[in-house]
Structure 1
Amino acid sequence: MAKLEIKNITKKFGDFYAANNISFTAEEGEFVTLLGPSGCGKTSLLKLIAGFHVADEGEILIGGKNVNFIPPEKRNTAMCFQSYALFPHLNVSHNICYGLKQRNIAVDEQKARLDVAIRQMDLEIHRLKLPSQLSGGQQQRVALARAMVTRPDVILFDEPLSNLDTKLRESVRFEIKQLSKQHNLTSIYVTHDQAEALAMSDKIIVLNKGRIEQIGSPQEIYHRPINRFVADFIGITNIAEASVQAVGNGKYFAKSVFGEFEIQSDAAPQAERVYLCFRPENAELVSSDSDKPNKITVKVAHTAFMGNLTEVQGVVSNGGQQQMVRLQLTKFPQLNADGTLTFSIDPQAICFLEAVQ
């Protein structure tokens, strides 16, 4: 495996920026996810790394070597496609060995690598089957085995689980993550699924309109988004404009449609007026006379039982303004007589976003 470095990569198609001055690093053995909505440039960036596109500007380095003008077949990368891209006329063994044959690997070595891959992917009883005789999950494992046997410096995943049902997707993503760690694979994984990115990644790169919005660990991206796009795209969040005043020692006082909040944060706000946010699970149901900080009273419009939690949707009113909020509870709540619930928001869970323009 090798370190991947993307330095100031730009790629345009006409007037459209697929990548606009993109820079990031994937360390050896690191699992990096490119996350963003459709059309944000994540697949185009993957194709730049693979060599299917040539960058207009910038450098792509694999193992310290500039590969900008090296053709795909000589970059020692491997790709797992959304459609699996298995040869329909070849059985499982021949599909897995295809890349080895193209590289003129000795027959004995091909067999040895095949046997290991078959065992690791639990495909022993499927060796001689054609792709049409396999389930979606089995086809995905064949595609992954085919990529891994070539021992690539970097392995690239283009939404490989999008064609699988929910239960199978959870199982296969665990297998991909486990195998990546076992074999110290440098992995670049493209998805639009936030839950998938949070569950699998060492590092997440959030993309929007060809630009990087934020780079960080899953915990950083989820708990400390830096702007409204990231906060809103990753999971569910409640966002409002606020006037902020510093108190000292990382403490701040904020006024918003939510009311008056005490905030404890290591990150200082960018201006006196910023956007702030908090996640639904950071609200604790309390009594209306509780002395806990950051109380909000929610006029409940809808509750939804979700199995392991109940989602509450409602309206907060303050100073003639109203704001919709979404909150989560582990138990189904008993509403007050006036149809409201009172919540306390954790001061350390409130996050400052960008300045209000």
Structure 2
Amino acid sequence: MSKIDMKNLGLNQRFLNEANLYKDLYIGRIMSQYKNLYKVATDNGDLMAQISGKFRYDVDALLDYPAVGDFVMLDRNEDASGYAIIHKVLTRKSAFIRKASGTAYDAQIIAANIDTVFICMSLNNDFNLRRIERYLGVAWDSGAVPVIVLTKADLCNDLQQKLVDLETVACGVDVLVTSSVDDDGDSSVRKYLGVGKTIAFIGSSGVGKSTLINKLIGGNALKTNEIRNDDKGRHTTSRREIIILPNGGVVIDTPGMREIGLESADLSRTFADIDALSVDCKFNDCSHSSEPGCAVKKAINQGELTEERFASYLKLKKEAKYEGLNAKEIETEKFNEMFKEVGGMKKARKFAKKSNRER
């Protein structure tokens, strides 16, 4: 097997430090998944792997299973007889999550350990500010940095107006404009690439994700299709996989997702303008509905904030189970969810203080 530059695949000191805790195991990164089998890259080459029986017994949810982009600990780093065994998933620095198909409450990892998430939207009938807000909420929550990529600029007759509209929801996020007909239509994306960098593309099917990735890899490895006349994209990518880029770094290609069910979302960044307005509300727990002295309602009445954006904010708060909570309460709720196994955030803090005193 040929050697693989694991540093180019994103292996850094953070993961190596954790990997050193498992002396008899080898580190690898999951490149693609085939049902219950995983293609894993190691420093000695690619191999096929499956999770151990103990691993399967110990997991509590879909989120605990390995996903494309994960760094894992294996029983080998050579392609010997049989499948390699995955014993541990290393702590993720970021994870893109959506509700699992066909389930009410469970969630699944779309991709892990991403540095930059490119949110792709075409400048034709696919352009939708409310969908951008949804993607931004999940992207910020993942721990990766979102970048909005507008595709098919050659098909747009009102680009400047769309950019003005986008400014009302982008809130400090970089916005790139690309065109598939220009030879350098992907040049703005390339500055986010480099050795050790992991990027991912998300967005509706047919908006040009595969076209952009093909330009980055210098070929036509991915099948592409256009958006249909009814504005519903075809699923041109059938599975998630990591593709190594010729000039350094990797890209995770994902199946097209028109709508994402929110398991959790970082609404404070997505709606930073509303959070900033709420600071001036008369009451700290203002719900922005009928309270006197509400700065958010005042901004709407004065035309500084649109009714549509505020309605989207309320809708996503409800969907992410944050209905009726202000920004501070949302953060508390998220921490309680993180520490629910030890009784919530307050008990976790007490435990941490007790541990520090005993040292």
TM bracket (short chain)? under 0.3
Q: Which one has the bigger strand percentage?
A: 1
As a proportion of its length, which structure holds more helix? 2
Give the TM-score normalised by the residue count of structure 1.
0.25
Structure with the larger RCO, 1 or 2 (CA within 8 Å, 6+ apart): 1
> TM-score scaled to structure 2, two decimals?
0.25
